[in-house]
């Protein structure tokens, strides 16, 4: 998302929060009172929404505005308008939402997605499983390096990046012939630590891009342990660790990606970063459908509208649908756990047929 979005992730991830636009006056933590001030607040918010939304050409904005003003007719403070603005955002785009400094006043307020985290990403995705999912790594069949990448919310954490790179180094020193990257429990957050940690498998190159209504062609980069978007030199907010960056023995070793309904927002961005790289194939079911770019727009009372302003593209510039389909589809059954074994088995079978693994098994 220099694109520092609050999406992650989509949003897509952020950090620090980039206020891409301001609706009216400088922000404060005070409520805005009075019917006319409240009406101006709502009008300004809707003006910004219409201007930057990726769907701006396809929405009946007059009808939407009329509905929002009708819903806020009795509002005394801007807090009272948040449920109506949340409703408007969700009418247009399932990934857009309100982040409010105080709880919404309505008794039956719409659900608010979890907060996004730093530059470029996606938030508000499927419900997160109980408790944090750890980074997991296994050496499978003595020839495949398996890495489970969980969601990550917040600013860059060097231990997250270092853990992923250390797993890659450890398995690579065992001379694995292929990799399995499991994104089925990556529900989003901040994409940059994910890309920085997996960088040795991505390669020192451009791995994707954002295309938005506010900024065109902001590319995602990985180089020497650092992942970021935009300029050719790394900014201070990107994902990075503290250990010396690892460089894989074979930077084009085959990679099997496990994806499914739990792969969302920044998890979908991480998937896209691999697509277009040689020797990559995905297994599982279609992703959650938050493969879009959100930007944060700060309102005068410190509420923030997270508005979908664009989409992500893979490293070769290809655009994908909001739900990214796998190369090898294994439909997930209702109630089936996210770590179902069939996609993993299919991935291992595919890796075993790749030249690098066939050669290893002959030796």
Per-block average pLDDT, block size 10, for the chain (363 residues)?
33 31 39 80 97 93 97 92 96 91 65 33 36 87 97 92 98 97 94 97 96 74 95 88 96 97 95 97 96 88 92 91 94 89 97 93 76
Total domain count, the chain: 1
Q: Residue 360 has what pLDDT?
A: 81
> What CATH number has the domain bearing residue 186?
3.90.226.10
Q: Residue 359 has what pLDDT?
A: 85
Q: How far is Cα 120 from Cα 296, in angstroms, rounded to an integer?
A: 10
Range(s) of the domain holding residue 64: 1-363
Backbone angles phi, psi at 167, to 5 degrees: -60, -45
Torsion of CA 339, 134, 145, 319, to 10 degrees: 70
Q: How far is Cα 205 from Cα 20, in angstroms, rounded to an integer?
A: 27
> What's the full length of the chain, in residues?
363
Q: Residue 31 has what pLDDT?
A: 57
Q: How far is Cα 163 from Cα 320, in angstroms, rounded to an integer?
A: 30
Q: Residue 131 has what pLDDT?
A: 53
Q: Residue 232 has what pLDDT?
A: 86
Q: Residue 29 has what pLDDT?
A: 44
Residues 6+ positions from 249 with CB-CB distance below 8 Å: 172, 175
CB-based contact 210:122 (threshold 8 Å): no
- How many Cβ atoms sit within 10 Å of the Cβ of residue 270? 28
Q: Is 205 exposed, middle or buried (0-12, 13-18, 19+ CB in 10 A)?
A: middle
Q: Is the preceding omega at residue 180 within 30 degrees of 0, hence cis?
A: no
Question: What Cα–Cα distance (Å) separates residue 236 from each residue in 21, 141, 224, 229, 310?
Answer: 21, 40, 15, 11, 24
| Joined tokens for residue 117 | 């985290």
Q: Residue 32 has what pLDDT?
A: 59
Backbone angles phi, psi at 289, to 5 degrees: 95, 30
pTM metric for this prediction? 0.78
**Antiparallel, parallel or unpaired: β 280-284 and 255-259:** parallel
Side by side, the strands of the sheet bearing 136-140 are: 136-140, 144-148, 178-182, 255-259, 280-284, 328-329
């Amino acid at each position: 998302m220099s694109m520092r979005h609050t999406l992650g992730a989509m949003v897509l991830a952020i950090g620090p929060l980039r206020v891409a636009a301001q609706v009216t006056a400088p922000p404060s933590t005070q409520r805005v009172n009075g019917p006319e001030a409240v009406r101006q607040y709502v009008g300004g918010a809707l003006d910004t929404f219409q201007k930057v939304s990726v769907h701006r050409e396809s929405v009946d904005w007059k009808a939407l505005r009329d509905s929002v003003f009708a819903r806020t007719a009795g509002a005394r403070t801007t807090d009272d308008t948040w449920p109506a603005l949340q409703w408007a955002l969700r009418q247009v785009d399932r990934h857009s939402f309100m982040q409010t400094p105080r709880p919404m006043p309505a008794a039956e307020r719409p659900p608010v997605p979890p907060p996004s985290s730093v530059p470029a990403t996606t938030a508000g995705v499927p419900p997160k499983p109980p408790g944090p999912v750890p980074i997991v790594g296994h050496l499978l069949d003595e020839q495949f390096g398996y890495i489970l990448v969980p969601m990550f919310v917040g600013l860059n954490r060097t231990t997250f990046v270092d853990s992923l790179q250390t797993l890659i180094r450890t398995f690579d020193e065992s001379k694995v012939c292929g990799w399995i990257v499991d994104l089925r429990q990556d529900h989003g957050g901040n994409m940059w630590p994910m890309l920085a940690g997996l960088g040795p498998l991505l390669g020192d190159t451009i791995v994707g891009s954002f295309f938005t209504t506010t900024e065109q062609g902001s590319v995602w980069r990985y180089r020497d342990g650092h992942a970021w978007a935009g300029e050719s030199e790394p900014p201070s907010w990107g994902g990075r660790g503290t250990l010396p960056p690892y460089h894989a023995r074979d930077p084009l070793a085959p990679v099997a990606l496990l994806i499914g309904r739990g792969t969302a927002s920044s998890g979908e961005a991480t998937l896209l970063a691999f697509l277009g790289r040689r020797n990559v194939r995905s297994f599982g079911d279609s992703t959650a459908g938050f493969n879009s770019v959100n930007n944060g727009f700060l309102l005068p009372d410190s509420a923030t509208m997270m508005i979908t302003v664009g989409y992500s593209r893979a490293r070769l510039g290809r655009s994908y649908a909001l739900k990214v389909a796998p190369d090898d589809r294994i439909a997930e059954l209702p109630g089936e756990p996210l770590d179902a074994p069939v996609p993993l088995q299919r991935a291992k079978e595919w890796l075993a047929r790749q030249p690098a693994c066939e050669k290893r098994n002959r030796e």
